[in-house]
Structure formats: C-alpha cells, structure tokens
Amino acid sequence: MNKVSIIGAGQVGAAAALFIAQKQIASLLLVDVVPGLARGKALDLSQAAPVAGYGVRIAGTERLSEIEGSRIVVVTAGAARRPGMSRLDLLEKNASIVKGIAEDIAKYAPSAVVIMVTNPLDLITYLAWRISGFPPHRVLGQAGILDGARFSYFVAQELGCSPEDVSAMVLGGHGDTMVPLPRYTCVSGVPITELLPPEKIAQLVERTRRGGAEIVGLLRTGSASFAPGAAVAQMVEAILEDKKRILPCSAYFQGEYGVEDVYMGVPVRLGARGVEEILELKLAPEELKALRASAELYKQGIERLNRVLNPDSEKL
C-alpha cells in the first residue's frame, strides 16, 4: 500500500489524516516535534477505525527519517494565525521551520510528491521547492480547493441549494490577492453570473477572501482545519489514483499567464506525477491584471524569504 507521511500532527495534520484514512488508499505516518503528539494522534485515529470502518495502518513518530518510502509527503508543520494576524505575519517563523523539513524530505523521501499546507502558503511552497531541489511538478500547495470550497458553500447558502452542486474556480494567492472567478463558478453547469446579481456575487467573493480570517476570529486560538484537511485528502487521492483531476492548486509558474518564477493558485491537472499541466483559462483583462498583481506581491515576498534565509549568500 502507498505510504503518505504528514509532517505536523496539529489541527490540520490530524484532520487531513482522518479524511485520507477514510478513503482507504494509503498507510499513514504522522510526524511531529512535540514528544508523543504524533503517536498519540495516530493511536486515537487507529482506535476510531473499528467504528469508522477504515482499516489502514496509522503510525506516529518524532523522527522525520521515518518518512522514508513515502509516495506523498504533506507538510502542515508551523504556526497558525491568531486573531488580527495576516498569513504573511507567519513568514519568518514558518520559513525557518520548513527549511529544515524540506532538507529532510529531500534526504529521506527523494522521489515523493510534496503537498505544502503551511502558511503563507504560496511563499512557503516556493521555499520548499527551492530547498528540496525537486522538479516543480513534484512540489505543490493546497489553497485553491479550500478557497473554492468556501466560495461554493457561500453560493449554495445564498441559492438554497446543495454545496455538492456548486463548483467554484479561484485563482491567485491564498489571501487578500485571491482572484475568485464568478464566470467559471457554476451550479450544475449554470454560471452564477446568471443566477445572482453582481452586488451579491461581490459580497460572496469578499467573504471568501476573508474566509480564513472569519474562522480565526471565531476560534480565537487557531485556524480552520476540517475543510483544509478535506482538501488535502482530495489532492492525495488525485495523485495516488492518477485521477488527472482538474483542481486549483498552488503551482510553479513558468510563463503561464505571462507570470514567471512564483507559486500561485491555478487550475492544474493533478495525477501520479503531481502537477501534470497548468491550465491557461481565458481571463478577462481585469482578472489577468489581478492575477499579475498577486504575482508581483509574491516577488516581494520572495525577496523577504531571501533576507530571512540567506542574508549573506546568493538569492534563493
């Protein structure tokens, strides 16, 4: 059976483990620096198995070297937001955590596909890609599925229909520079631009942009975990089962949409190799402008990563 390792056994790591276990497609290894935490969560998840009806092996460890043989490594290690914080406020702290983890992934699981979750997502995914030395198709980030799911949920609530029937498309950064695409967001094939007035769509878009902060404000002690965990499980399934699903993920741009050398959210074909293709949608001029503005902000963020991690040496 394929092995999936999840580094960081906190809220998102544990939720991702549960959703993946329910799919019965991989054995799981949870890894956390806090002594006992990953082993405790793994034991708890294993004891849920007889009731929940999954039969996969779930183990926990403090030793990152045990990820050896993993087909996929998911990284959720690092600090989460508190009320009033932006995702970018986590950059310095999480960059130093992920730097060491990416080095270890390259050492112990050199052929794995890496799914990043740690925030600020797109910049941290860029960092993990550079540090690992992996080809870009094997390092990607989870954000767009979550952002799309939030948008779908809000649309479904507004229309009084099932969220299952709404499929949303969100591009750009995971944060304020997110670019939701109402024209490509459909209810059973019908674009929402035909179902809702522009002012209402604008409100739902704004609520989606602030979707993470809304939950942080309510929880006060952490950030969302169930929806991000479900999104990770969908990506893991697409890769392990070579499903060629078209899903929005944070991927490395090499000239697509006129953008280069950043990670951002974009629809990709997700299969056994990881990101098998970036899809180029036909964007309206203002959508393209918003996407490029998102990319510009990330270029500045990469400069900030350089200063944190390589103050004296060459650029990342």
> Which one of the listed residues 87, 99, 174, 269 is annotated catalytic?
174
Instruction: Mark residues 292-311: x for contact with ligand NAD by CB under 6 A, - for none.
Output: --------------------
Distance CA 126, CA 292 (A): 17
Q: Which residue is nearest to ligand NAD (CB)?
A: 10
Q: Considering only residues 6, 7, 59, 109, which one is a binding residue for ligand NAD as defined by CB under 6 A? A: 7
Distance CA 81, CA 189 (A): 36
Q: Which two tokens stand for residue 232?
A: 């990770």
121 is an interface residue for ligand NAD by CB under 6 A:
yes
- State the CB neighbour count (10 A cutoff) for residue 84: 9
101 is an interface residue for ligand NAD by CB under 6 A:
yes
177 is an interface residue for ligand NAD by CB under 6 A:
no
Least gap, CB of 248 to ligand NAD (angstroms):
11
Residue (of 263, 30, 305, 258) closest to 140 by Cα position: 263
Q: Which two tokens stand for residue 152?
A: 């779908």
- DSSP H or E run through 268: strand 260-271
95 is an interface residue for ligand NAD by CB under 6 A:
no
Distance CA 295, CA 293 (A): 5
290 is an interface residue for ligand NAD by CB under 6 A:
no
Report whether 266 contacts 253 (CB < 8 A): yes
Of 187 and 227, nearer to ligand NAD (C-beta) is 227
Known active-site residue 174: yes
Decide the pairing of beta strands 274-278 and 170-172.
unpaired
Binders of ligand NAD among residues 123 to 152 (CB under 6 A) are: 142-143, 146
Binders of ligand NAD among residues 203 to 242 (CB under 6 A) are: 222-225, 228
Catalytic positions are: 174
